[in-house]
Amino acid sequence: MSSEETLRRWRLILGRYAAQPLSQTQFSSGDWQLDQALEYLYGRGYDGRGLARPTPGPGSLDPSQLRAVDWLNRSRKLFPQEVFERMQTQAIDRYQLTDLLNDPAVLRSLDATPGLAKALLSMRGRLSSQMRDAVREVIQKTVDEITRKLKNDFINALVGQRNRLRRSHIKSAQNFDACATIAANLKHYDVERKQLVIEHPRFNARVKRNLPWDVVLCVDQSGSMMDSVIYSAVIAGIMSSLPAVRVKLVVFDTAVVDLTHMAHDPVEVLLTVQLGGGNDIGRAVSYCESLVGNPQRTVFALISDFMEGAAPGPLLSAVQRMAQSRVTLLGLAALDESANPVYDRQMAQRLADKGMHIAALTPTHFAQWLAEVMN
């Protein structure tokens, strides 16, 4: 990297506190815009720590030239999509740009992402009444996008089995019928090469199957589990639409709330949960145990960081009782696309010793795991 490029990058990193201000002779107009956009947002961090603002030099840029909506529109063009989404979330979550939260039109113009949804949900109690509809629309767009990505995975994994009485034109390895193919092509057997020539492979059709399973999702709603809450709500909504899969949705901190009646509506679930508070996992698991009607046809999934705030005895006892009654138990340490688990490994091991499977699964892998269990 050239010295000039190194100087440019350090200048953009240091912002207003760089010893050498931006010079129009050394930096392009694009760099000026980058510097202004970065300063408008991250300069607030310096102000929040009480650092004195340096005396403006001849090449300085006054961030007050930008309004929040101008910054938003400019940043969307200046930065790659992934970078912009992170900055957009930080603007609301960390720096609380009030202009973005006071204008419904501006809020609706934001890119709907899980990060933005997390930020809005964490501070929705501080939003004005006229912003609530806009927040709901943003959450709805986020949920719709996640659902679009995940729904086919769950349907393909949990619905459909081969129908050996009916043939299909869909030629996939999963539907291939080896016995019928051999029988239909025996007349094409090559005696000299001792090989069966397959001219007409046979495939089975697929039919929907009745899955008499109950799936109990027990979701930790503490602040650190926001990613899992979002994806759990979407998964509950998807599974509620599947035939003969009965979904029960329970969220908890130190209190336990049964949201089964709205499991089909992920947006309503997300707008209902109250993030924060301590953790009484044992109380939540004991409640979910009371929901089990047919143990051998029940999957219980605990989505949590396993950081129990209460005495561990009730939690471990409830898990052991369900395991002994042959409930299928899964402890999910993470339930987002990145699957970066942060959890109490010691407690996870104690739960595993009582009969619970512990895993860090993406939603797609969770669907595949459920399919294996239900088959």
**Domain spans in the chain, listed from the N-terminal domain onward:** 3-142, 161-207, 213-374
> Residue 205 — pLDDT band, cuts 50, 70, 90?
low
Spell out a b/e string for 96-122, using b for 16 or more CB atoms within 10 Å of the CB, else e. Answer: ebeebbebbebbeebbbbbbbbbbbbe
Q: Report the C-alpha gap between 370 and 215 in whole angstroms.
A: 9
Please determine, for residue 34, whether its predicted confidence score (pLDDT) is greater than 80. Answer: yes
Between residues 66 and 328, which one has the greater pLDDT? 328
Please, are residues 359 and 332 in contact by the beta-carbon 8 Å criterion? yes
Is 213-374 assigned to CATH 2.70.50.60? no
**Share of residues in the chain with pLDDT > 90 (%):** 29
Please determine, for residue 166, whether its predicted confidence score (pLDDT) is greater than 60. Answer: no
HSE of 63, CA atoms in CB hemisphere, 13 A = 17
> Residue 99 — pLDDT band, cuts 50, 70, 90?
low
- The answer to which of 56-65, 73-82, 102-111, 122-131 has the lowest mean pLDDT is 56-65
Of the candidates 271, 369, 363, the one whose C-alpha atom is nearest the C-alpha of residue 329 is 369
Q: Report the C-alpha gap between 259 and 274 in whole angstroms.
A: 12
Spell out a b/e string for 200-222, using b for 16 or more CB atoms within 10 Å of the CB, else e. Answer: eebbbebeeeebebbbbbbbbbb
Across 20-24, 238-242, 349-353, the highest mean pLDDT is recorded for: 349-353
Q: Is the pTM of this model over 0.95?
A: no
**Share of residues in the chain with pLDDT > 70 (%):** 76
Please determine, for residue 232, whether its predicted confidence score (pLDDT) is greater than 80. Answer: yes
Please determine, for residue 16, whether its predicted confidence score (pLDDT) is greater than 50. Answer: yes
Residue with the two structure tokens 């207003």: 16
Between residues 208 and 93, which one has the greater pLDDT? 93
On the 0-12 / 13-18 / 19+ scale of CB atoms within 10 A, 174 is exposed
Q: Tell me the average pLDDT of the chain.
A: 79
> Residue 25 — pLDDT band, cuts 50, 70, 90?
very low
